[in-house]
Structure 1
């Protein structure tokens, strides 16, 4: 039975954050509120949780998942940030924006082989939501994440807590319920080419 933990969206209760972090460390799958809807999140070593996500969303094993990071320095260890990308990320983070970046040569093997497909680039996001950020601090490392899109849905309601619980609670181990959050999706900025390119404008459009 999944636990639905009512957590304050601005001043999250540490004991509830720690409970969700313990579930993640044990290989669990957690619903996390962000600044662009709720997301599924699991630990870097959470292979079983990842398999559940692949089955639930009917995803190809090469599907790229997003890494949620605490700060730019953490992103810089996972991706190659040139001056241009660094300045852009600094201006747009934390916030509802996902950056596609060239993978660092120091990218941990587990992340590099996520989906059993060698990754030359990665998606990184620094969320601007108190609960997500506090959970990342409690973990002390990035989390893998993906949006709440089931195979039979085109426009999922991923920001209203009650709708998310009705649809997803049966499939996860913990839901950090911070009530309704900002809608998604995130904007996506591709920084792997000669110039940054916005490949998707999200609920909050960005300019590069």
Structure 2
């Protein structure tokens, strides 16, 4: 049975943030709000929690999970970026984007694409998630909370509790989020490539907006 915390979306209560981080450190799988939609997240180094996340999302090992980081100071630990890539990422973060980048050797093998050695990286623009990342002191593994056979993210924390209360350890109610997934941009080549269109604008990447 999952726990249920109500956190203020702009000024999250430090006591509840600490309790949420303790649950994550103990191997918990958490539903939390972001600037695009609700996401599932767990500890970077917890293999069992990552496997549980993949099962709920219906993802195999070839499908990327994202590293949720508090700011770009952590970028170099997990991804190899040149000046061009860094400037582009910095211009739109924090925000509703996942960037596909070449992974460093610091990234656990289970978290990078098995053949391409890439990692998804995201700096969310949401006070609750950023407070949790700050208290935790390291990135989270995250994925947009879309539960098969659904094709759109879950956005109501009460519904998340009802549907997943026996599968996850904590639901963080931070109010409604935009019911859109993040935009995924592959920056591993010479030019940005759109992987998934979502909430973020494509204009900064020179990509066509789709209707």
**TM beyond 0.5:** yes
TM-score under structure 2 length normalisation: 0.89
* Structure 1: runs of 5 or more not aligned: none
The answer to which of 165-174 and 37-46 deviates more is: 165-174
**1:116: how far off?**
9.0
Change (3 A) 1:115 1:75: closer
Task: Kindly report which structure 2 residues correspond to 1:160-175, keeping only aligned pairs within 5 A, or say none.
Answer: 160-175=156-171
With normalisation by structure 1, the TM-score equals 0.91
2:134 is the counterpart of 1:151:
no
Does 1:182 find its partner at 2:178? yes
Q: 1:89 maps to which residue?
A: 89
Q: 1:127 aligns with which of 109, 124, 127?
A: 124
Are 2:201 and 1:205 aligned? yes
For the Cα contact (< 8 Å) 2:157–2:172, is it kept in 1?
no
1:15 match: 15
Looking at structure 1, the residues matched to 174 and 57 of structure 2 have their Cα atoms a distance apart, in angstroms, of: 24
Contact preservation (8 Å) 2:99, 2:121: yes
What are the superposed Cα offsets for residues 48-73 of structure 1, whole Å, 9 maximum, x if unpaired? 21222232233223322110001111
2:48 corresponds to:
48
- State the alpha-carbon separation in 2 of the partners of residues 13 and 119 from structure 1: 40
Please give the alpha-carbon distance, in whole angstroms, between the structure 2 residues aligned to 1:204 and 1:115: 23
1:139: how far off?
Answer: 0.6
- Taking a change above 3 Å as real, the CA distance of residues 204 and 126 of structure 1, as seen in their structure-2 partners, is same
Q: Is the 8 A contact 1:100 1:123 kept in 2?
A: yes
Q: Which stretch has the larger CA shift, 117-126 or 28-37?
A: 117-126
Paired position in structure 2 for 1:195: 191
Q: Does 1:140 align with 2:137?
A: yes
Superposition RMSD in Å: 1.8
- Residue 209 of structure 2 corresponds to none
Superposed CA deviations along residues 9-58 of structure 1, whole A, max 9, x for unmatched, are 00000110111100111111011110011100000122221222232233
Where structure 2 has 5 or more consecutive residues not aligned to the other structure, the ranges are 206-211
Larger CA deviation: 132-141 vs 169-178: 169-178
